[in-house]
Structure 1
Amino acid sequence: MAATIKSSANNTFVSAENQGASPLVANRQAAQAWETFNVVNNADGTVSFLSIANNKYVTADLNQETKLIARASVIQDWEKFRKIDRGNGKIALQAVANQLYVSADLNKGGVLYANRTAAAGWEEFTIAQAGTEASQPSHPSGGGFIVSEQQFNQIYPSRQSFYTYAGFTAALGAYPGFANTGDDAMRKQEAAAFLANVYHETGGLYYINEANTANYPHYSDYGNTRYPVEPGKQYYGRGPLQISWNYNYGAAGEALGLPLLKNPDLVAQDSSVAWKTALWFWNTQTGAGSMTCHDAMTKSRGFGETIRTINGALECNRGGGGPVQSRVDQYKRICSILGVAPGNNLSC
């Protein structure tokens, strides 16, 4: 049976990203080929999943932190899962490989891991015949993203051609809640806040790599054993929010299913990857603040709180001044372009 798998953790479809080359991740609002699997009923009562994306079986890879990935040519124990009825049409998947439950880990961008000893919300899924479950676009307002391409070009009149609107909108599926939470005003305010901080960090999408080359060697934390420095690689700022440090490249790559620790230059080579790293920080990291930028805007804490998260130690904690005002000015300008009031608490 051709089927879709939907995570109860964030109500999104599981995708075999990059045509199956990346680990499975729950991040799609709509189901297409990458989000479709043939369900195989094995003789021992277990099930296996054959990805339509690359015609490979999904495996719980114990050599890769138990991530689920479609890479096996035959069914063995690592490719088998027990379906556990959780009621209300929901099931849990227990990997035969290690007897642990599959989880859509929202702390890691929704990537699927077989690493939980018990099943709860993040470990619950629904499996439906492909084409029978209604799917919704990621950003339904007006049939697309809440910022049009014309508005994007107006916001960034001197942007580098690398920073494409298509690359941005392609990256949105990684974090479907971004600029898609709350009413129309809240969605526009979050989009404006993100784009304003991006404007400040990159000089209006002019800089792809950090401008100050003297800083390049400084961003390597050789004491970090989880995300160790790759020989010959530098982790200076790249992309819309200038992601830096090896531990950030490692964590972002882990969440997005991309080899950013080994190849940080991907952020400066692929527009969609660059935008995804910025969305990863915005939606999952608290930085120098106490909450993510996404939460700051959707929980009415205001634009100033996003400044604190992104660069609070250097800007908010040193009296604000020019950089803070620059961000605020851009936020007001972009809100005007999008036709929304900027709200309260603009400065940190």
Structure 2
Amino acid sequence: MAAAGVAPALALLAPWAAAQSSAQFLPSPAQFDQLFPERIAFYSYEGFAQAVRQTPAFAARGSEQQKRQEMAAFLGQIAHESDQLKAQREYRRENWGLYCRQGPGESCAPGQQYYGRGPIQLSWNYQYKAAGEALGLDLWADPDRVARDATVAWQTALWYWTTQPGVAPQSAHEAMLAGKGFGATTRAINGVIECDQGADPNTLRKLNRRIDFYRRASSLLEVPLSEPLGC
């Protein structure tokens, strides 16, 4: 994910251990397996479902179609971010030491690196710190817990999705509720790197890959696409 400011967790999403909303939409285990046939064991359906239940606002608001559209958008985005749930850690090791932002009130723990981990590839020291504070954990001192603890990995992905806007006006969760389309979720996740870059071939490839995964998820969940698809 691109560097951006970190928004505070939304009060409506706390506490993380809240009971599942009766209105929440969840894909079936068979649908999850069909969408991620090569996923590694770390990313289990049970872990995913548990994290969803602990995030009561996610895929729980608006019409049934809106709930399914949000779920499809989330699944499409994590399919791209985590290489279809095969990557616990960012593949490009040469980038691992690049995610330390220093500034007022910001620093990096000695010996720690803040490269992408988990379903949404949480990145940067300040995001690990904020995610840990929301979850009651010290992920600033131990960022690799996101790649070792599957429960935490899923929780950080849903924390980012529901509360963090990145460089966008609102989080991916809020954008879907407002009908802003799938493209707005890409802007919230990786807007600096992938949005507003013109016709750069590599950027277009990444954007189209996200859209392709979203199309698959939407088809599987039998829900119309939320447009615009591009950011």
Amino acid at match of 2:126: Y
TM alignment of 1:1-348, pairs within 5 A: 10=12, 26-30=15-19, 137-140=20-23, 145-225=25-105, 227-319=106-198, 321-348=204-231
- Determine the C-alpha separation between the residues in 1 that align with 2:149 and 2:77: 20
What is the CA RMSD across the aligned residues, in angstroms?
1.7
- Summarize deviations over 1:22-72 as a string: whole Å, max 9, x none: xxx634443xxxxxxxxxxxxxxxxxxxxxxxxxxxxxxxxxxxxxxxxxx
- Summarize deviations over 1:258-314 as a string: whole Å, max 9, x none: 111111111001111001111111111111211100011111000010111111111
Larger relative contact order, structure 1 or 2 (CA cutoff 8 Å, min sep 6): 2
- 1:299–1:259: structure 2 CA closer, same or farther, 3 Å change rule? same
Amino acid at match of 1:293: A
What is the CA-CA distance between 1:222 and the residue it aligns to? 3.1
- Determine the C-alpha separation between the residues in 2 that align with 1:243 and 1:343: 25
What is the CA-CA distance between 1:346 and the residue it aligns to? 1.2
Gaps of 5+ in 1: 1-8, 13-24, 31-136
**More helix by percentage:** 2
Amino acid at match of 2:138: P
**More strand by percentage:** 1
Q: Secondary structure at the match of 2:78?
A: helix
Amino acid at match of 1:302: G
- 1:313–1:184: structure 2 CA closer, same or farther, 3 Å change rule? same
TM-score, normalization by structure 2: 0.88
Amino acid at match of 1:206: K
- Determine the C-alpha separation between the residues in 1 that align with 2:15 and 2:229: 33
- Kindly tell me the number of residue pairs found equivalent between the two proteins: 217
Gaps of 5+ in 2: 1-10
Amino acid at match of 2:15: A
Instruction: Tell me which stretches of 4 or more aligned residues in structure 1 moved more than 6 Å.
Output: none
- Determine the C-alpha separation between the residues in 1 that align with 2:138 and 2:74: 25
Q: Which residue of 2 aligns with 1:108?
A: none
Amino acid at match of 2:100: S
- Determine the C-alpha separation between the residues in 1 that align with 2:128 and 2:86: 21
What is the CA-CA distance between 1:316 and the residue it aligns to? 1.3
Identity of aligned residues (%): 44
